[in-house]
């Protein structure tokens, strides 16, 4: 796995400070550059620290939710490892999507930015068709797009409309994209789905979101068994509390300041600290790993 600190030893409690906020809840669903002035500390995507070593040279990657947060960090890391990247992000987040594309291009790789609402099968087909038209194949598919909206009142406050949006974004889109992409994934290709510590330790106010994240784990394991004979690996990364624009946009104001402090490491993680797990699973370094979940949680257990 590539390191972010040039191979030096780092204290996990001192690598990053606990993010500072300005105490104001942001409008959902959360974007990067457009909310940074009110977010407080900007997330670290690895802009000044991630160093590639050619692990993904000339591979073609699709990254959903690629405009900010974990998606931006993964796209940057993939590009610095030598991959071309197709970035899918929610329509209206063009400024953030363009910034991620710039980071990919600054690494000397091709970036294609695709604003798209993946809650429809037609949109998922459009994304796959666009990628295949440009590159002829999909070597790496990262299903990272997600939607959450915390409801302190629990199930009573979760509307059917919210439940539908969470499932369509987090589960349906993953299903559609895997189904549509697999005919274009060659042997040696990989699929990486973003789960969460919420899959095994659900917060009551995130009941619908946590339900989808548990579903992603089971889907990953089942699909991994299904396509192993085709030479395709399917794995999942389960982040813990990671500092992304989604947090101040979708969590109650009072919980944002303490976000991540419950972990053994004692702070929220940064997107740059998650991206190397995706690089590992996308590269040949993990050639004997499929159907697995890698937890990047600051010490919180994921026990699914």
Catalytic residue numbers?
209
Measured in degrees and rounded to the nearest 5, phi and psi for residue 289 equal: -120, 120
Residue whose token pair is 């976000």: 259
Contacts of 79 (CB under 8 A, 6+ apart): 52, 85, 103, 104, 105, 107, 108, 109, 111
Using DSSP's 3-state secondary structure scheme, residue 213 falls into helix
Question: In a 3-state reduction of DSSP, which class is residue 95?
Answer: helix
Return the residue matching tokens 């690494």: 107
C-alpha distances (whole Å) from 204 to each of 83, 191, 201, 224, 296 are: 39, 29, 10, 30, 21
- Kindly give the pairing relationship between strand 190-194 and strand 84-89: unpaired
Rounded to whole angstroms, how far apart are CA atoms 55 and 64?
Answer: 21
Question: Which pair of tokens denotes residue 263?
Answer: 């972990």
Count CB neighbours of 67 within 10 A. Answer: 32
């Amino acid at each position: 796995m590539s390191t972010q600190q040039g191979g030096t030893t780092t204290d996990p409690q001192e690598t990053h400070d606990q993010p500072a906020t300005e105490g104001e809840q942001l409008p959902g669903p959360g974007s990067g550059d457009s909310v940074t002035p009110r977010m407080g500390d900007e997330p670290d995507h690895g802009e000044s620290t991630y160093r590639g070593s050619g692990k993904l040279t000339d591979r073609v990657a699709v990254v959903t939710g690629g405009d900010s947060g974990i998606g931006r960090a993964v796209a940057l890391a993939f590009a610095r490892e030598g991959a071309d990247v197709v970035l899918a992000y929610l329509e209206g987040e063009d400024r953030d999507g363009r910034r991620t594309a710039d980071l990919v291009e600054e690494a000397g790789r091709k970036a294609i930015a695709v604003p798209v609402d993946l809650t429809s099968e037609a949109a998922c087909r459009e994304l796959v068709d666009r990628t295949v038209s440009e590159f002829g194949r999909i070597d790496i598919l990262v299903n990272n797009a997600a939607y959450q909206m915390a409801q302190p009142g629990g199930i009573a406050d979760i509307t059917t409309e919210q439940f539908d949006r969470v499932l369509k974004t987090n589960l349906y889109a993953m299903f559609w994209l895997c189904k549509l992409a697999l005919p274009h994934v060659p042997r040696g290709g990989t699929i990486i789905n973003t789960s969460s510590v919420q899959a095994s330790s659900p917060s009551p106010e995130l009941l619908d979101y946590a339900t989808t994240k548990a579903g992603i784990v089971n889907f990953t394991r089942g699909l991994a068994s299904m396509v192993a004979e085709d030479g395709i690996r399917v794995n999942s990364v389960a982040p813990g509390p990671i500092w992304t624009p989604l947090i101040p946009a979708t969590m109650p104001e009072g919980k944002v300041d303490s976000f991540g402090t419950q972990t053994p490491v004692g702070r929220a993680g940064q997107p740059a600290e998650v991206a190397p797990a995706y690089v590992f699973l996308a590269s040949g370094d993990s050639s004997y790993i499929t159907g697995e979940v890698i937890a990047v949680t600051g010490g919180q257990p994921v026990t699914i």
